[in-house]
Amino acid sequence: MYVAVKGGEAAIDNAHRLLADRRRGDRCVPALTLEQIAGQLALAVDRVMAEGSLYDRELAALAVKQARGDLIEAIFLVRAYRTTLPRFGYSEPVDTGAMVIERRISATYKDLPGGQVLGPTFDYTHRLLDPELAGDGPVASGQRREAEAGRVRRVSEILAGEGLIEEDGAPPEDGAIGDITRTPLEFPMDRQSRLQSLARGDEGYLLGLAYSTQRGYGRNHPFVGEIRIGRVDVEIEVPELGFCVPIGRVQLTECQMVNQFKGSAKAPPQFTRGYGLVFGQSERKAMSMALVDRALRAAEFGEDVVAPAQDEEFVISHCDNVQSTGFVEHLKLPHYVDFQAELDLVRRMRADFDKRAGGSQDHKEAPE
Amino acid sequence: MAVAAGVLEGGFADAVMEGQAVFRAVLEAMARPGTVQPVAGLQRAPRPLSPVAAALVATVCDGDTPVWLDPSLAPGGSRTRGPGDGGAVAAWIAFHTGAPLAATQGEAQFAICADPALLAPLESFARGTQDYPDRSATLILQVDTFSEGEPLLLEGPGIAGRAGAAPGPLPRHFRDQWRQNGACFPRGVDLIFAGPDAVMCLPRTTRILETQR
Amino acid sequence: MTATADIASYNFAYLDEQTKRMIRRAILKAVAIPGYQTPFASREMPMPYGWGTGGVQVTAAVIGPQDTLKVIDQGADDTTNAISIRKFFQKTAGVATTTKTQEASIIQTRHRIPETPLQAGQIIVFQVPIPEPLRFLEPRETETRKMHALEEYGLMHVKLYEDIARNGRIATTYAYPVKVEGRYVMDPSPTPKFDNPKMHMSAALQLYGAGRERRIYAIPPHTRVVSLDFEDFPFEVQKFDKPCALCGAEQVYLDEVILDDRGGRMFVCSDTDHCEERRAAGHVGELAEQPR
């Protein structure tokens, strides 16, 4: 007598209970606070905000905690939350030229107005594990200098003075900025929609694609014109008032990649640009985004589209880690109905094969 | 800002549940062309927008859907933009749905017509493209009856065999216009007839058979 | 801690009204253009992409308090993902649920169509992973869109014909392409081809939601749905050698169940409700417990 398996509901409840238990871990150890996560795992929180497309440190910290440190899971939690939020309006474009700079470096000039500001970087640390950090020893506060007054000119503006670099892309003439969260993707895309997709794209995926362009799969001769990290005001226009009001400040990482371009029949030789902009502090992501952005502009500059990183449909369709992880992991779901259909087919084809094999053997033996 | 009191009133009391009920009626009507599906109208919406048409607008329109109003609904013409300029109906739609008025018929995602007999040709509305036939207008036509207008014999997806319906009044040369609309499938407009207390639909796939009269 | 405290409040059926309106508009166009994949601005859902987010969004846009919902995965009401989705709607919409096909006004399904013929007034919502029937022949959306626009489906016939040349039969067993009302070639979602004939002239409205791929498509009731085939190789469905071991049903889709380590196996209804109904009506298969 066969009894079908039941009790899926209880199994799910028990699994969730066990998950909560494992997440909490040893009860003798104090639970992490959101302040600790936001304050001390700040770059994990930044990544969740960036790829979750929601600038809220507290919620991102909660997501990191709830996801047991699995950042893609945390990004998913934040996305699923943000999607239900009402849309009150769209901000004005932020002015990164007016950024309150915490870090700003250029690889194309030794020195430049505004200076090279290293800021809180891992760059020149020796990657030696630091046993001191296992404890909670005193840490000196950062050395501060007087903030420069006024704008710190962007390197692209400096180059633009000589006419040696392409201009800032102009917003569309009808003023309509797309919104990839509200409109289904349509290929070919315009650059602004592509940049929106890349901004929430998976860091690891974009890093791999960016790296591939450096190794010759769509090489685009990049220089880091500038990376800047800091805070900018977000403003919205209030129609009733007729002017813009700041509604908050966000930390951003911006990367302007400067790329050699030999010119074409239509365009003079000049530098072209790849652009990366990410919530929080994430140079790796901003640089990767800039390299991929430039690679995806191949057709615009009349370059041959030959490498994966230059292929818009390929890059954009697969850059979202919430989509990717869902579909890869859905293979865990039962597929036994379809498998049954395949099993039946393979059995029948196998029977045909065996019959044919048997038949040809008879045939071989016949002449003897 | 002086806003007529009527503008602020007459929307759904419970947008979630009422919107769902109206949508289900429209879905059923669109899936089974020629059938008449009851809809509770918004009685206090400004005339000449009918209560059922008002309920449809409140269900399907919002800030993402440019709406075109026929001349009887938009005194002063549909080219006027902004609440108040197009009369009470435009102001009511703007307040309750946020839907912008379409600058031209061709830009409208929804067209509301209180006087179908005077409707501009169907081909003046967006039919979508061969690539994206869904980018076409849906016309909401206010009618007085589903049984005493011009008898139509219908055939196509959603209809088991044939179905009869007699909505009225209909746009001029409706049979010819509808045949032309069907001929450019998959492009074409879709129609929702808003009766006194119900809806009926003709999606572009429905064919009107020639009948002997 | 202001934002975190508000998280618990969600709208009826989870989606906000603006999202529902957007999905509803897409559904109406999908019904008006049978078999055409209507793009929609799919939202992130609280379950992963690939786990039924398209179906869930369609159901959430359609469902009301008067509805009775049935959710199946692989034909069964008690598979874990079916349970999870059913609980989601119980929690967010408070609707009545059922396992009985006949009692349901909305049936959300993954990979099966119930054996009991659907009726007028019922809506069946399919979860679709890859809505594009041409995707595995041409990965580019820009190309497949052109093919649909031009009704250029030669590639699909070539693929099926190559199957025949190589294997002596069409080697597609599920997600078997169909042509809807003589125009659009459509992917029926990964249901076994056994279920394809149920789509033809069904009395129910069939809605298909693909969340990750952002497409909704539909087949209205009483619509022609033809599985692609050739005159000399007509479409045919799977046949099972034995009836269901529990209820004795024939001409239904069966799951193979491994009974022991010695290769013992049995075949039982994939549609659990159908099997239970039959057993309740006194039908007995060869391995079922005999009624006392």
Confidence of residue A185 (pLDDT cuts 50, 70, 90): confident
Q: In what order do the strands lie in the sheet with A243-259?
A: A100-105, A222-238, A243-259, A272-279
| Count, residues in chain C | 292
Mean of the per-residue pLDDT values for chain C? Answer: 92
Per-residue pLDDT reduced to its tens digit, C26-79? 999 999 999 999 999 999 899 999 999 999 999 999 999 999 999 999 999 999
- Contacts with A310 (C-beta within 8 Å, 6 or more apart), sequence order: A218, A295, A296, A298, A299, A303
Q: Where are the domains of chain A?
A: 13-82, 96-119+151-167+184-325
What are the C-alpha distances in Å from C24 to residues B26, B27, B101, C34? Answer: 10, 9, 21, 15
Beta bridge partners of B84: B87
Report helix, strand or coil for B71. Answer: coil
**pLDDT score at B82:** 45
Q: Which residues does chain B have within 8 Å of residue C34's beta carbon, measured at their own beta carbons? A: 157, 205
d(C-alpha A258, C-alpha A222), whole Å: 6
CB contact under 8 A, A181 and C167: no
Confidence of residue B86 (pLDDT cuts 50, 70, 90): low
Per-residue pLDDT reduced to its tens digit, A233-290? 999 988 778 889 999 999 999 999 999 877 777 777 888 999 999 999 999 999 999 9
**pLDDT score at B103:** 85
Cβ-based contacts under 8 A for chains A and C: 159
Q: Helix, strand, coil proportions of chain C in percent (round to 5)?
A: 30, 20, 50
- Assess whether pLDDT exceeds 80 at residue A334: yes
Confidence of residue A6 (pLDDT cuts 50, 70, 90): low
- Assess whether pLDDT exceeds 90 at residue A145: no
Instruction: Give the helix ranges, DSSP H, for chain A.
Output: 8-24, 34-40, 42-52, 57-66, 71-82, 155-161, 191-199, 203-214, 283-296, 312-317, 321-329, 336-365
Q: Which residues does chain C have within 8 Å of residue B109's beta carbon, measured at their own beta carbons? A: 25
d(C-alpha C210, C-alpha C189), whole Å: 9
Lowest mean pLDDT among A194-208, B121-135, C161-175: C161-175
**Which residue among B21, B60, B203 places its CB closest to the CB of C25?**
B60
Based on its alpha-carbon atoms, the radius of gyration of chain A, rounded to whole angstroms, reads 27
Mean of the per-residue pLDDT values for chain B? Answer: 91
Instruction: Give the helix ranges, DSSP H, for chain B.
Output: 5-8, 15-31, 51-60, 87-97, 174-183
- Assess whether pLDDT exceeds 60 at residue B92: yes
CA distance C224 to chain A (A): 24
Task: Tell me the residue type at C34.
Answer: P
Dig out the tokens for C255 from the structure.
Answer: 């799951």
Residue of B nearest to C41 (CA): B64
**pLDDT score at C4:** 45
Helices A57-66 and A71-82 pack at an angle, to 10 degrees, of 130
**pLDDT score at A367:** 42
**pLDDT score at B70:** 94
d(C-alpha C177, C-alpha A338), whole Å: 15
Closest C-alpha among C56, C67, C76, C123 to residue C96: C67
Q: Most distant CA pair in chain A: distance in Å?
A: 102
**pLDDT score at A262:** 74
- Assess whether pLDDT exceeds 90 at residue C200: yes
**pLDDT score at C263:** 81
Confidence of residue B80 (pLDDT cuts 50, 70, 90): very low
**Which residue among C65, C149, C181 places its CB closest to the CB of B205?**
C181
Task: Tell me the residue type at C238.
Answer: Q
**Interface mutation target, options B20, B125, B207, chain C, most CBs of C under 10 Å:** B20
Mean pLDDT of C107-131: 97
Q: In what order do the strands lie in the sheet with C68-73?
A: C38-39, C215-219, C205-210, C123-127, C106-110, C68-73, C96-97
Work out the burial of residue C186: count CB atoms within 10 Å of its CB; fewer than 13 is exposed, 13-18 middle, 19 or more buried: buried
Q: How is residue A53 annotated by DSSP?
A: T
**pLDDT score at B135:** 97
Antiparallel, parallel or unpaired: β B110-113 and C38-39: unpaired
- Contacts with C272 (C-beta within 8 Å, 6 or more apart), sequence order: A4, C72, C75, C76, C77, C78, C99
3-state SS of C133-163?
CCCCCCCCHHHHHHHHHCCCCHHHHHHHHHH
Backbone angles phi, psi at C256, to 5 degrees: -95, 125
Q: How many CA atoms lie within 13 A of B80 on its CB side?
A: 19
Q: Model's pTM, two decimal places?
A: 0.90
CB contact under 8 A, C79 and A323: no
d(C-alpha A137, C-alpha C194), whole Å: 68
Per-residue pLDDT reduced to its tens digit, B28-41? 999 999 999 999 99
- Domain extent, residue B26, equals 2-209
Measured between CB atoms, does C278 come within 8 Å of chain A?
no
Residue of C nearest to B27 (CA): C28
Catalytically annotated residues of C:
35, 244, 247, 269, 275
**pLDDT score at A159:** 82
| Count, residues in chain B | 213
Dig out the tokens for A237 from the structure.
Answer: 């226009």
Mean pLDDT of C84-108: 95
Tokens 């919530």 sit on residue:
A279
Confidence of residue B84 (pLDDT cuts 50, 70, 90): very low
What is the rounded (10 degree) CA torsion for A58, A64, A68, A74?
Answer: 130
d(C-alpha C254, C-alpha C74), whole Å: 11
Confidence of residue C11 (pLDDT cuts 50, 70, 90): confident
- Assess whether pLDDT exceeds 50 at residue B141: yes
Mean pLDDT of C155-165: 89
d(C-alpha A71, C-alpha A60), whole Å: 10
Q: How is residue A352 annotated by DSSP?
A: H
Residue B25 belongs to a domain with what CATH number? 3.40.50.11310
Q: What is the ipTM of this complex?
A: 0.94
